[in-house]
């Protein structure tokens, strides 16, 4: 396996490592959402949601599409949601 691929995979996993980012991925798995919807669902301040979305966007996990005055975010693909869902399921099985 080329070291560049492993490094990129490590960066992706680091981007998914924060609890708020995991929660965002789970929300986006259910439906595309704009920032204010994520703020309402997760009860997290808007600047913090925006910061975490920026990390996820930089890592290629989410994409944003401007619709009028809002940006609607969605997951880039289902592989990323599976990683998060499997990690959460694994932790729940251990408890």
What whole-number distance in Å separates Cα of residue 75 and Cα of residue 56? 9
Q: What is the pTM of this model?
A: 0.91
The pLDDT of residue 29 is 95
Find tokens 């592989």 and name the residue: 79
63, 57 contact by CB (below 8 A): yes
Residue with tokens 């994520």: 38
Please tell me the distance from the alpha carbon of residue 77 to that of residue 5, in angstroms, as a whole number: 18
pLDDT grade for 53, boundaries at 50, 70 and 90: very high
Query: pLDDT tens, 66-94?
Result: 999 999 999 998 888 888 899 899 999 97
Query: pLDDT tens across 24-48, in order?
Result: 999 999 999 999 999 999 999 999 9
């Amino acid at each position: 396996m080329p070291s560049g691929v492993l490094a990129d995979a490590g960066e992706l996993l680091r981007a998914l490592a924060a609890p708020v980012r995991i929660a965002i991925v789970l929300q986006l798995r259910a439906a595309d959402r704009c920032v204010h919807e994520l703020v309402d669902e997760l009860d997290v301040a808007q600047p913090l949601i925006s910061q975490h979305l920026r990390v996820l966007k930089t890592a290629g996990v989410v994409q944003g599409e401007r619709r009028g005055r809002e940006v609607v975010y969605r997951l880039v693909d289902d592989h990323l949601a599976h990683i998060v869902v499997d990690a959460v399921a694994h932790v729940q099985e251990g408890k």
